[in-house]
């Protein structure tokens, strides 16, 4: 049997660009490892001689691989790897870095403790060039497979978001449809209860819309719906504000972190917007142009107990909307005043 090829003959130029953090307190051992890693094709190498430096370099550079001594002058490598895994879990990217322990201890207990602490493999010192190069290849294969899985997962997530967009967008107006409205309102209600922040919901009707359709035709009616949708969207200035087509000529606004006063101010502004861009209505009893009636409900977990049922929240807004119509239309009424 032929002896293993020396490291110089195993120059792993086929490796992808690879960055490595070496945490080893012994200068001679660290220097030897760095030399072998460069020969094996590592592109970037950072060196640390204690746990604090190692953690700082890990957090700053997020290497592709870590070689970590089990025994360090300022602590245990087992504690260091636990901290590294905590850093990864708190990251938005949710990355995973292969960590190989370095130790002169060649026993099963040491290997078990290292893997349990969060390590991925174990190298016994002195490390040979052949074994080190083989480990690099193995770890890089794991990284490549993980990246492929991450890419597939991201592609599936993107496709799912596109599907949700297609399913939850109203074709005529471009607003969120009833299905999307139900989903978003449920999410915002949960957030309201969790974060102890107010949530306001507004249900809106176009006044005497059936009369408009009868007088002007459904094509003109569709144009009114589109214009109303555009104006409703224009008042949703914050990222989480949502304008939705609830059904027919009915619309809704979901306003997270909005108290009663804020919702009332917004709806007064909405009324002024419709006055500034009037669409003539030939058969309205309240104005010569298109007008809106709306019902507002606000829940504030800091003030009163909250009924967590969506249908109850919608019912309260609907009762307020009915009150707005009964009082002459072209106005918004809060459920507290209905």
In a domain, 107, yes or no: yes
Looking at the structure, tell me whether residues 60 and 199 fall in a common domain: no
| 3-class state of residue 237 by DSSP | coil
Is 186 part of the annotated catalytic residue set? no
- On whether the CB atoms of residues 220 and 211 are closer than 8 A, the answer is no
Q: Which residues contact 188 (CB under 8 A, 6 or more apart)?
A: 199, 240, 254, 256
Report the pLDDT value the prediction gives residue 3, as an integer from 0 to 100. 44
pLDDT of residue 116: 85
Regions of the chain where pLDDT drops below 70? 1-17, 92-94, 106-107, 150, 158-159, 161-166
Query: Could you tell me the pTM of the whole model?
Result: 0.57
Using DSSP, state whether 31 is helix, strand or coil: helix
Q: What is the pLDDT of residues 230-273, one digit of tens each?
A: 999 998 989 999 999 999 999 999 999 999 999 999 999 999 98
In a domain, 155, yes or no: no
Q: How many separate domains does the chain show?
A: 2
Does 116 share its domain with 219? no
Q: Are 175 and 308 in the same domain?
A: yes
* Residues 91 and 189 grouped into a single domain: no
Give me the domain span that covers residue 206.
Answer: 169-337
Residue 88 domain-assigned? Answer: yes
In degrees rounded to 5, what are phi and psi of residue 245? -90, 110
**Residues 48 and 23 sit within 8 Å (Cβ to Cβ):** yes
DSSP state of 280: B
Strand partners of residue 251: 204, 245
Q: Please tell me whether residues 226 and 137 are part of one structural domain.
A: no
CATH number at residue 111: 3.40.50.2300
53 falls within a domain: yes
Predicted pLDDT of residue 11: 45
**pLDDT recorded at residue 164:** 62
Q: Which of 149, 183, 208 is at the close of a domain?
A: 149
Q: What per-residue confidence (pLDDT) applies to 161?
A: 67
Regarding whether 193 and 140 lie in a shared domain, the answer is no
Could you tell me the CATH number of the domain that includes residue 211?
A: 3.30.70.270
191 and 323 share one domain: yes
Closest to 251 measured CA to CA, from 201, 189, 325 = 201
Last residue of a domain, one of 84, 116, 149: 149
Residues 214 and 303 occupy one common structural domain: yes
| Half-sphere exposure of residue 153: CA atoms within 13 angstroms, side-chain side | 8
Query: How is the chain split among helix, strand and coil, in percent rounded to 5?
Result: 50, 20, 30
pLDDT (0 to 100) of residue 107: 65
Q: Identify the active-site residue in 24, 168, 188, 249.
A: 249
Q: Are residues 214 and 121 in the same domain?
A: no
The answer to the question of residue 157 being in a domain is: no
CA-CA distance, 188 to 310, in Å (whole number)?
Answer: 11
Same domain for 123 and 213, yes or no, is no
Residues 93 and 197 in one domain: no
162 assigned to some structural domain: no
Q: Are residues 139 and 209 in the same domain?
A: no
- Residue 293 maps to a domain: yes
Q: Which of 149, 180, 214 lies at the terminal end of a domain, its last residue?
A: 149
Answer whether residue 160 is part of any domain. Answer: no
């Amino acid at each position: 049997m032929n002896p293993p090829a020396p490291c110089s003959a195993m120059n792993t130029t086929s490796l992808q660009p690879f960055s490595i953090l070496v945490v080893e307190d012994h200068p001679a051992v660290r220097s030897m490892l760095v030399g072998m890693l460069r020969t094996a094709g590592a592109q970037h190498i950072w060196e640390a001689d204690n746990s604090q430096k190692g953690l700082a370099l890990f957090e700053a550079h997020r290497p592709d691989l870590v070689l970590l001594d089990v025994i360090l002058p300022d602590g245990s490598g087992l504690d260091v790897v636990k901290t590294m895994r905590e850093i990864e879990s708190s990251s938005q990217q949710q990355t995973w870095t292969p960590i190989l322990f370095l130790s002169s201890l060649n026993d099963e207990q040491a290997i078990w403790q290292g893997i349990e602490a969060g390590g991925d493999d174990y190298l016994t010192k002195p490390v040979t060039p052949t074994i080190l190069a083989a480990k690099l290849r193995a770890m890089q294969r794991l990284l490549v497979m993980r990246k492929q899985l991450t890419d597939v997962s991201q592609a599936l997530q993107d496709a799912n978001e596109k599907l949700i967009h297609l399913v939850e967008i109203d074709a005529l107006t471009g607003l969120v449809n009833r299905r999307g409205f139900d989903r978003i309102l449920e999410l915002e209600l949960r957030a309201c209860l969790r974060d102890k922040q107010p949530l306001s919901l507004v249900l809106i009707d176009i006044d005497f819309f059936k009369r408009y359709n009868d007088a002007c035709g459904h094509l003109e009616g569709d144009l009114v719906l589109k214009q109303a949708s555009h104006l409703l969207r224009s008042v949703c200035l914050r990222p989480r504000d949502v304008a939705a087509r609830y059904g027919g000529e009915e619309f809704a606004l979901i306003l997270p972190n909005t108290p009663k006063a804020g919702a009332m101010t917004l709806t007064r502004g909405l009324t002024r917007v419709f006055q500034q861009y009037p669409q003539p209505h030939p058969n309205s009893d309240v104005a010569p142009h298109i007008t809106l009636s709306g019902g507002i409900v606000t829940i504030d977990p800091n003030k009163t107990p909250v009924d967590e049922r969506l249908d109850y929240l919608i019912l309260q807004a609907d009762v307020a909307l009915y009150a707005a119509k009964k009082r002459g239309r072209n106005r918004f009424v809060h459920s507290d005043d209905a």
